[in-house]
Amino acid sequence: MPSLLLFILTSIGVFFVTDTDDLIVLLFLWLTAETPGQRRSIMVGQYLGILTLMAISWGISWGLVALNITHWTHLLGVIPFTLGTIGLQNWYRTRKHDRTPTALPKLISLPLVWSLTLGNGGDNLSIYIPFFTHLSQGQLGIVLVVFIIMIGLWLLISYRLAKSSWARRLFTRFGAWLSPLLLVIVGIVILIQ
Rounded to an integer, what distance in angstroms lies between the CA atom of residue 156 and that of residue 20? 14
**In this predicted model, what pLDDT tens digit does every residue of 6-24 receive, in sequence order?**
999 999 999 998 888 788 7
pLDDT band at 140 (very low <50, low <70, confident <90, very high): very high
Radius of gyration, alpha carbons of the chain: 17
Rounded to an integer, what distance in angstroms lies between the CA atom of residue 150 and that of residue 168? 21
At 144, the amino acid letter reads: L
H helices, E strands: number in the chain? 7, 0
Burial code of 1-23, b = ≥16 C-beta within 10 A, e = fewer?
Answer: eeeeeeeeeebbebbebbbbbbb
The whole model's pTM is what? 0.71
**In this predicted model, what pLDDT tens digit does every residue of 61-111 receive, in sequence order?**
888 767 776 666 666 667 667 777 887 888 788 777 655 443 444 567 888
Rounded to an integer, what distance in angstroms lies between the CA atom of residue 189 and that of residue 193? 6
Q: What is the mean pLDDT of residues 138-147?
A: 96
Determine the pLDDT at residue 100: 46
Rounded to an integer, what distance in angstroms lies between the CA atom of residue 154 and that of residue 16? 9
Alpha-helical (H) ranges within the chain are 2-32, 36-66, 78-94, 110-119, 122-133, 137-162, 165-192
Distance separating the N- and C-terminal Cα atoms of the chain:
24
* Between residues 54 and 173, the one the model is more confident about: 54
